[in-house]
Structure 1
Amino acid sequence: MNRALMRTFSERLHRFREDRGLSQRQLGLLSGVEPIQISRYERAAALPAADSLAEMARVLQVPMETLLLGKDTSQPEPQLRNALLLDRLSELDELDRQDQETVISIIDAIILRRNVQGIVGPQNKTA
C-alpha cells in the first residue's frame, strides 16, 4: 500500500471530521462506517473501500477526490468575460517562458500605473 497516500488521507479525514464538529463515533453513525475503522483510517493503518469513502465524503460534504487525494474539485476555474483576452491568453500560454515573463512584466506595469493613478489622480500633461 502507498504509505504516503494513507498518511495524507488520514490527515484530511481527521481535519474534515473535526471541521464539521464530528466525533469518530458520530461520523461512523452517519456514514455507516464502523468507528473503529474510522480510527484505523485516521491512524493511517488502512484505506477505505470505495463505498465507505463515498459515504464519508457525503457526510463530510466534500468530493470523494478531495477527501482521498486532496484535489479541490469544488473550485471552478476563473472565467474571463472578455473573449478576445481569453483567446490571447491561450496563445500566450504557448510562448516560451521568457516571452511569458515579458508579457507578465508589461501587464504588471500597466496595473501598477493604474493603481498609482487611482491614488494620486491623473497627471496633467502640459507641453
Structure 2
Amino acid sequence: MTSELILLMQDQEIRKAFGLRLKELRKQKGWTQKELARQVDIRFAQLNKYECGMHIPPIERLIQLSTALGITLDYLVMGNEENIQPLHNRRLMERLKELEQFDHEDQETIIKMIDAMIVKRRVEGAISPIDNPGS
C-alpha cells in the first residue's frame, strides 16, 4: 500500500465511508457478518470493526474482501465507480433492480437459475468444437 493511501485511510470520514460501503455490499449479497468473515478468514468481531469504520483492513484482506464481494478494489476502498461495468441492456437492468426488492430466498433462487444458464452456455460452448470438428 502506498504511503498516500495509508494516510488517506487514517482519515475518520474515509474509514466510516469504507465501513458503510462494506456493510452495504455485504447486505446486497444477503450475507451476515459471520458469513463474510468466514469467507475471508477473519473473526466476526474484526469485520464488525471494519464496518463500523474503526479499522481498515491490510491490503491482503482488502483484496480478499473485494474478491468475495465481486467488486473492484478501487470501489471497495474509495467508492470509485469508474471501473464498474454498467449494464447496457435496459430491460435486464430494470428487472435486476426490481429483483432487489424480493426476499432473500427468492433472490437466491433466481441467482441459482441464472448460474445454471451460465453453466449451460459454457458447457455448450466447450462441447460444440467436438461436435463440429470442421468448424
Please tell me the TM-score bracket, short chain as reference: 0.5 to 0.7
Q: What count of residue pairs does the alignment treat as equivalent?
A: 77
Q: Structure 1 runs of 4+ off > 3 angstroms?
A: none
Is 1:9 the counterpart of 2:18? The answer is yes
Preserved CA contact (<8 Å) 1:32 1:55: no
- Per-residue CA deviation, residues 17-74 of structure 1 (Å, 9 max, x unaligned), is 0000011110011111221111001111101100011101111111111011001112
Q: Which residue of 2 aligns with 1:74?
A: 84
Gaps in structure 1 of 5+ consecutive residues: 79-127
Larger radius of gyration: 1
Please give the secondary structure, in 2, of the residue aligned with 1:71: coil
Please give the secondary structure, in 2, of the residue aligned with 1:74: coil
Q: Which residue of 2 aligns with 1:41?
A: 50
Q: How far apart, in 1, do the equivalents of 2:18 and 2:43 lie?
A: 17
Is 1:54 the counterpart of 2:55? The answer is no
Please tell me the residue identity of whatever aligns with 2:16.
R
With structure 2 as the length reference, what TM-score do the two structures score?
0.54
Please tell me the residue identity of whatever aligns with 2:44.
P
RMSD: 1.5
Is 1:22 the counterpart of 2:31? The answer is yes
Matches within 5 A, 1:40-119: 40-72=49-81, 73-75=83-85
Q: How far apart, in 1, do the equivalents of 2:17 and 2:43 lie?
A: 21
Preserved CA contact (<8 Å) 1:20 1:60: yes
Q: How far apart, in 2, do the equivalents of 1:20 and 1:64 lie?
A: 17
With structure 1 as the length reference, what TM-score do the two structures score?
0.57
Please tell me the residue identity of whatever aligns with 1:63.
T
